[in-house]
Amino acid sequence: MTKARARQITKAVIPAAGLGTRFLPATKATPKEMLPVVDKPAIQYVVEEAASAGLTDVLMITGRNKRPLEDHFDRAYELEELLVRKGDEAKLARVRESSDLATMHYVRQGDPKGLGHAVLCAEPHVADQPFAVLLGDDLIDPRDPLLAKMIDVQRELGGSVVALIEVAPEQAHLYGCAAVKPAEWHGTLGGDDEIVRITDLVEKPAEGEAPSNYAVIGRYVLDPTVFDVLRETPPGKNDEIQLTDALRVLAQRTPGRGGPVHGVLFKGRRYDTGDRGDYLRAIVRLACERDDLGPDFRTWLKELVGSGELDTLTGAE
């Protein structure tokens, strides 16, 4: 194993500069990352995932109106004092959870020039070590750990690793899509997940132009060479600097020059919170599974479905 490969991965980068316009007016004065999924802000699930994969240092790429993110992961002394005085240990623990997860850092993106540009903003912090990128719209169930596997694969094979899922052909235009071939990997990943070698990538392909049904989801473990490539990457889809375009270059490079790129084909539970419909579905699924809220909520949901009331609704804005 080379020295570069043996280095420990400790840093996570979480792009969080987006305006969240799909959730207006909720996101007029509140970052979309702070919208609750059951009773925790969506972004807390993502930081918890990074921490449980062993990452101790989190850099958030933020922008204007994102101050609540910094406050959420900081101590809240007045609130904590109050709960201490009341002796409310349970609530105190819930308040402290988010500030004990990792060492947090923040940098502003300035111009919103795309995901590739957001990742490039992390360069001064990350420097020359491999690092993880987690996108906040994807929540991965902690029972199906994905990032830790991707880190293992990167440690063994070097280069970069992305997470893939299989999607229906009509969904491919919503994602970066990968052309793949079998990987030379003889270890075991655990669970049903598989590993593949990526030969090409296309960001949000037009209908009929996807190289496969393998779609990139928001988890990446990247070789720092990606920064050099991103600096040279011209604006692509939607006139933005696309991370997918930089990874396409690395996928075609040899080891030592930033390649190869592997994909972990994830078969576990993932909740998309990227648009309003998916966000609602994620909340219902997660609420059903909770030990505390789940039993009552499931009973109510079964009654609602069984009552036929849903069949009579015609919908109103």
Cβ at position 282, least distance to ligand G1P in Å: 13
- The only residue of 33, 152, 193, 203 in contact with ligand G1P, by rule CB under 6 A: 203
- Told to check if 42 binds ligand G1P by CB under 6 A, we report no
Taking CA 263 as the corner, what is the angle to CA 114 and CA 289, rounded to the nearest 5 degrees?
85
Q: Which is nearer to ligand G1P, 131 or 175 (CB)?
A: 175
- Told to check if 162 binds ligand G1P by CB under 6 A, we report no
Among 36-44, 70-78, 211-219, 297-305, the segment contacting ligand G1P (CB under 6 A): 211-219
- Told to check if 266 binds ligand G1P by CB under 6 A, we report no
- Told to check if 230 binds ligand G1P by CB under 6 A, we report no
Contacts with ligand G1P in 105-124 (CB under 6 A)?
115
Cα–Cα distance, 84 to 82 (Å, whole number): 5
Residue with tokens 């991370």: 243
Cα–Cα distance, 297 to 300 (Å, whole number): 5
Cα–Cα distance, 55 to 144 (Å, whole number): 17
- Told to check if 202 binds ligand G1P by CB under 6 A, we report no
- Told to check if 138 binds ligand G1P by CB under 6 A, we report yes
- Told to check if 247 binds ligand G1P by CB under 6 A, we report no
Contacts with ligand G1P in 267-296 (CB under 6 A)?
274
Distance of CA 162 to the CA centre of its chain: 11
Q: How many residues of this chain bind ligand G1P (CB under 6 A)?
A: 15
Which tokens in the block code for residue 6? 């043996």
Quote the strand ranges of 63-120, DSSP E: 103-108
- Told to check if 216 binds ligand G1P by CB under 6 A, we report yes
- Told to check if 218 binds ligand G1P by CB under 6 A, we report yes
CB 264 within 8 A of CB 167: no
**Who contacts 43 (Cβ-Cβ below 8 Å, separation ≥6)?**
14, 16, 31, 33, 34, 69, 72, 136
Quote the strand ranges of 83-141, DSSP E: 103-108, 131-134, 138-140
* Site residues, ligand G1P (CB under 6 A): 115, 135, 137-138, 175-176, 203, 215-218, 242-244, 274
